[in-house]
Amino acid sequence: MLKRSIRLLATILLVAVFAAPAIAAAEQSPQQIVQSIADQLGNAIQGRQAELYKNPDDVIKIIDAIVLPHFDMDYASLLVLGRHARETTPAQRVAFARAFYNALTRRYAEGLVAYTRGSVKVLPAQGPLDQRRTIVRTQVLLASGKNLSVDYAFRKTASGEWKAYDVIIEGISYITNYRNQVDAEIKKEGIDGLIKRLQTEGAGAIDQMKQQDSGH
């Protein structure tokens, strides 16, 4: 049950980090970004859960509109591919990055709808802000009443924007964990097989959410 909760939280927390307006990301510290995003996300979802659950495609539109511009998708996908990135063509890397992002957001669209205002507490920064990389630490209040420790990894791009690329839940890096899965799959099916599987998984997740709603 805890594993499922962590998996559902992954997208919720990724969205909470990545959803800041571009101007805010350029002017605010990563801690301020996370706090403002948590508030904005609560405002956007609160009171619309039933509507969004019935229309998961609308959830994806929300994510695409506010998440994608602030998610360092290319960098995150390279980290996930690891050593296999050197074995892929530029076209394959682009295809994998898009398939990876789509599968992630669509698989956890239901988790996003479950997001509630005030469930994320941003902890004070420890020490001076590094100029290139930093970690933002938070605590997430679960429905059970327990707190979950969640860290966000940020990097400053060449354009000077802070962008998030990883979520570390209870000390477990989402990127590292996913890279281990991808490594085994690429060895077995190849990069093209992995891309195809991710594309199918993303589409299937939305269909499943629609079927669950129709069964209520």
pLDDT tens-digit series, residues 52-95? 888 888 878 777 776 666 678 889 999 999 999 999 999 999 99
What was the pLDDT predicted at 95? 94
Residue 136 phi/psi, 5-degree rounding, is -105, 125
pLDDT digits (tens, 9 = 90+) for 164-180: 898 898 999 989 988 99
- Kindly tell me if the per-residue pLDDT of 26 is higher than 60: no
Pairwise CA distance, residues 55 & 76, whole Å = 28
In the three-class reduction of DSSP (H, G, I as helix; E, B as strand; rest coil), residue 177 is classed as helix
What was the pLDDT predicted at 76? 93
Average pLDDT over residues 38-50: 77
Residue 178 phi/psi, 5-degree rounding, is -70, -35
- Kindly tell me if the per-residue pLDDT of 20 is higher than 60: no
Helices 56-66 and 90-107 cross at an angle (nearest 10°) of: 130
The lowest-confidence range among 59-68, 100-109, 137-146, 203-212 is: 203-212
